[in-house]
Amino acid sequence: MESDRSLRFFFWSQAIVFFYLAIDERFMLHESIGGFIGFNDALILLLIAFVQLVVFMYYKDFIKTLIYWNSPLVLGSICFVIMIIIDGFAPRDANLRLSFEDLFKLWGIFFFFRYSYNVYDRLVKPVTTKLAS
């Protein structure tokens, strides 16, 4: 089992990624960064997805212990991948391209939030309840 310090890093990294994606959704950060640097803005989201894969591979043993409630994480990841494919490879003038991209992004965010709630409910809440007693 991972150490408390290592798990703290894992949870903080996930909170930071979730926060960035929420801010990015509102202020279109990856589009601005991509335009500033001069490359396809979808590559920034792809980089985030790659970093997440690396983090998940490092913590795979811990994540396996959470297998019972990992389905929202899997579904959110699938929606995120579909959104990146649409954003990076669909023709810009395709009918409903932005609608489908935002639809998959919204569902991805929902499933990631649901996963975060599952983590809170199963891991954090019992500890805080015990500490409060």
Task: Give the tens place of pLDDT for each residue, 10-66.
Answer: 888 888 888 888 888 788 888 888 888 888 878 888 888 889 889 988 988 877 776
Q: For the chain, give me the number of helices (H) and strands (E)?
A: 7, 0
The pTM assigned to this predicted structure is: 0.66
pLDDT of residue 118: 84
For the chain, the residue count is: 133
